[in-house]
Amino acid sequence: MAPRNVFYAQSGGVTAVINATACGVIETARGSRRLGKVYAGRNGIIGALREELIDTSKESKATIAGLRYTPAGAFGSCRYKLANADDNRREYERLIEVFKAHDIGYFFYNGGGDSQDTANKVAEFSQAQNFPITCIGIPKTVDNDLPLTDCCPGFGSVAKYVAVSTREAGLDVASMAESSTKVFVLEVMGRHAGWIAAAAGLAKDSRNDPPHIILFPEIPFVRKDFLKKVKETVNKVGHCVIVASEGAQYKDGTFVADAGAKDVFGHTQLGGVAPTLVDMVKAEHGFKCHWSVADYLQRAARHVASKVDVKQAYAVGKAAVEFALVGKNAVLPIIVRDKKSKRYRWHIEDAPLSKVANVEKPLPRSYITKDGYGITAKGRAYLAPLIEGEDHPPYRNGLPAYVSLKGSMVRKKLPSFEMDG
């Protein structure tokens, strides 16, 4: 029997290291005679529905190796969640038609919780249809909110970016505080969980180091208490560095960012949590403030990636292919921390997709200090190893020499398809 082809796709918000996972998948698949070509979905599952398949066999060895140090999704990602098969039979049937047309026997889906749900649905549907395809999820998310796995590839690098930026901006505001800026606010990602904001806490080596205040979505925001803490910090340290989750919220669930003023038409103003907090601090204390919103910069920052994260991202891609080769199905590789080792050690195991899909792992309360504004020793012990090591990309003309693909498309064999979404 001729080896069957592999479908790989990237899904959801991209990261600094998701292409390292792609590199792990493709290099490992290329090394096996039992697998055919790796076709990558153009823009995730959308590429499968539209029969837009990138033929990775046309890419050079050097380009594929370069994916290891190239951020974002080289094949395009998507925000597209398949509905249940009962409500949306035609999309599932279309997937199977495309898989059949291109002799695809392996489905690798690289994403967060929603994507693992998609991978699981594809596995269930194809089993019910008796279509032989091996479905393997591959974890990825800067949010670090997947269950079972100790951490998620993508998180370590954003954590490192946030910790480094907090340290650097903290030195800046400390320099300026005597006669100018006294308060600095950095807004970071994390709509539902405070993992990323927590990582800023790694910048603090001693008591008066930044960050002085971290705002987590998990801890209800109390304006009066926050403003008091800012004042106390400025009095004691001379300045105050605040790292705020975009999802920081009041007890009733209103986002701090949404609680700002309305415009003349009654629309809530754009803003984000950083400028909203700065507005409060200025109004109450009159301190000069500066603020940053990291947004995409934080998750795309391959130039300051964590070496541990890059290794883990590659390893889950490699493991996914190895699982498929030994006949596992409807699973995903997870990262397991060796609890007994004093030094940080980890290895890969597998877990059932059904247990990962649509479950969010919150930041444990025990990682957050009692006052709600910092991280505990326990939180630090969890986070610190994940930002270990540097993995500088190559540079050319002063800029990271990220690779780009030829992106040769596989010739279509089917009529075009109208998506529902």
User: What one-letter code names the amino acid at 23?
Assistant: C
Alpha carbon separation from 118 to 22, 53, 133, 182 (Å, rounded): 18, 18, 14, 47
Catalytic residue among 55, 117, 143, 309: 143
Q: How far apart are CA 184 and CA 174, in angstroms?
A: 10
Structure tokens at 283: 């109004």
- Angle between helix 89-101 and helix 113-128 axes, rounded to 10 deg: 80
Q: How far apart are CA 350 and CA 330, in angstroms?
A: 10
- Considering only residues 87 to 146 of the shown chain, the ones binding a second copy according to CB under 8 A are none
Nearer CB in complex with a second copy: 44/105: 44
Site string for a second copy, 179-218 (x = CB under 8 A): xx---x-x---------------xx---------------
Q: Are 382 and 344 in contact (CB under 8 A)?
A: no
Nearest to 73 by CA among 141, 165, 127: 141
In the complex, minimum distance from the CB of residue 125 to a second copy, in angstroms, rounded to a whole number: 21
Candidates 147, 220, 260, 407; binder of a second copy (CB under 8 A) is 260
Q: How far apart are CA 180 and CA 177, in angstroms?
A: 5
Nearest to 316 by CA among 361, 351, 341, 360: 351
The one segment of 26-34, 130-138, 226-234, 299-307 that binds a second copy by CB under 8 A: 299-307
- Considering only residues 376 to 405 of the shown chain, the ones binding a second copy according to CB under 8 A are 384, 387-390, 392, 395, 397-400, 402
For position 259 contacting a second copy by CB under 8 A, the verdict is: no
The one segment of 213-221, 243-251, 263-271, 322-330 that binds a second copy by CB under 8 A: 263-271
The two most distant CA atoms of the chain are separated, in Å, by 76
Q: Are 138 and 317 in contact (CB under 8 A)?
A: yes
- Considering only residues 316 to 355 of the shown chain, the ones binding a second copy according to CB under 8 A are none
How far, rounded to the nearest angstrom, does the alpha carbon of residue 207 sit from its chain's CA centroid? Answer: 30
Judge whether 252 counts as a catalytic residue.
no
Candidates 85, 148, 300, 348; binder of a second copy (CB under 8 A) is 300
Nearer CB in complex with a second copy: 44/217: 44
The one segment of 24-32, 167-175, 325-333, 362-370 that binds a second copy by CB under 8 A: 167-175
Catalytic residues: 143
Binding site, annotated residues for diphosphate: 13
Binding residues for substrate: 141-143, 189-191, 246, 296-299
